[in-house]
Amino acid sequence: MNVSIFSESGAVSCLVGAFLLLAGLSAVDFKVRLLPNQMVLMTAFLGVCFHIMTGFVFLSPLSVFMGGVLGFGAFYAIRHVSSAFYGQEAMGFGDVKLIGAGGLWLGPEGIVLGVTIGACAGLVHGSILGVCTALKTGTKPDFRRLTIPAGPGFAFGIGAVALWRFWDVFSGL
């Protein structure tokens, strides 16, 4: 990679910080069903800093911007339409902001992959939770009323794609 040692150590620090923030966001979302703005904003900030420190070798500035716009914009639209359809909040605004922050890290293609992986992780999590709840109560699984926080699944997807995409930053150490 064509970055200086200072920039490379800064990039690694950004990645490690982002992974810690994603883990913290997941823990908070599991506990209180909330993604704190400060943590999501810091995740976004670290993404922009990461790309600056790596000299935009992974994504161009336009791709960084477009990833954030696509992630935030698409999920804002999904949130708006689904909330109107169901007559209640169908997705938290924190999830929308998290996908926007992930888009800054991963770019347009990467955030689509991250959301897909995250949705699959959420599906597995929800299925396991539904079956475990049914076993505990001795009833049939009822997935229609099951609610789970979406943030941890999306955080997993963003983290998995970031690890795959930016592995070169770690391998140079």
| Model pLDDT for residues 81-104, shown as the tens digit of each residue | 999 998 888 888 999 999 999 999
Which residue type, as a one-letter code, is found at position 97? Answer: K
Distance CA 139, CA 82 (A): 30
Phi/psi zone of residue 56: left (φ > 0), alpha (ψ -120 to 50 degrees), beta? Answer: left
Q: What is the pLDDT of residue 172?
A: 61
Q: What distance in Å separates the CA atoms of residue 39 and residue 94, rounded to the nearest whole number? A: 10
pTM: 0.90
pLDDT of residue 145 exceeding 80: no
Share of the chain above pLDDT 70, in %: 95
**Token duo for residue 155:** 């955080």
What are the boundaries of each domain within the chain? 5-171
